[in-house]
Amino acid sequence: MDRLEAAVRAKGLAVFARVDHAAGARSVGLTMQDAQVLIFGSPKAGTPLMVARPLVALDLPLRALVWSDPSGQVWVSFNATTYYPRRYGVLDGLEKNLAAIEGLVDAAVSGS
């Protein structure tokens, strides 16, 4: 998660929140695997999408989940850019505004 957050910040994107679900579980006496969500984006990129299709705001800012499975393997999950046009219809070419997420995750996972 730290590498992903650093990659997001290095691209000049805003980090709006980091949600630690496992810490929340611990705070009420429950246990779960490590799971954190990074909420990030760019108002410059996201605003035109929300103007074109207001319901896109349900999925923006972007989110990435970093979680571990029972064997300790760490995974990064996020909605692919192809998800948004399928869910919200044709985005008038604005889906390119969401394309950064794949590169950011790739860079963070590879450590480059």
Q: Total domain count for the chain?
A: 1
Instruction: Note the pLDDT tens digit of each residue in 17-36.
Output: 999 999 999 999 999 999 99
As a whole number of angstroms, the distance between CA 110 and CA 40 comes to 20
Task: Give residues with Cβ within 8 angstroms of 95, minimum separation 6.
Answer: 49, 81, 84, 85
Q: What is the pTM of this model?
A: 0.89
CATH number of the domain to which 54 belongs: 3.30.310.70
Q: Domain for residue 111, yes or no?
A: no
Enter the tokens of residue 102.
Answer: 């794949």
| Both tokens assigned to 90 | 């044709």
Torsion sign (Cα): 104, 24, 58, 13: negative
Each residue of 51-65: pLDDT tens digit?
Answer: 999 999 999 999 999
In a domain, residue 68? The reply is: yes
Is residue 93 included in any domain, yes or no?
Answer: yes
Would you state the pLDDT for residue 72?
93
Range of the domain at 47: 2-105
SS3 label, residue 38: strand
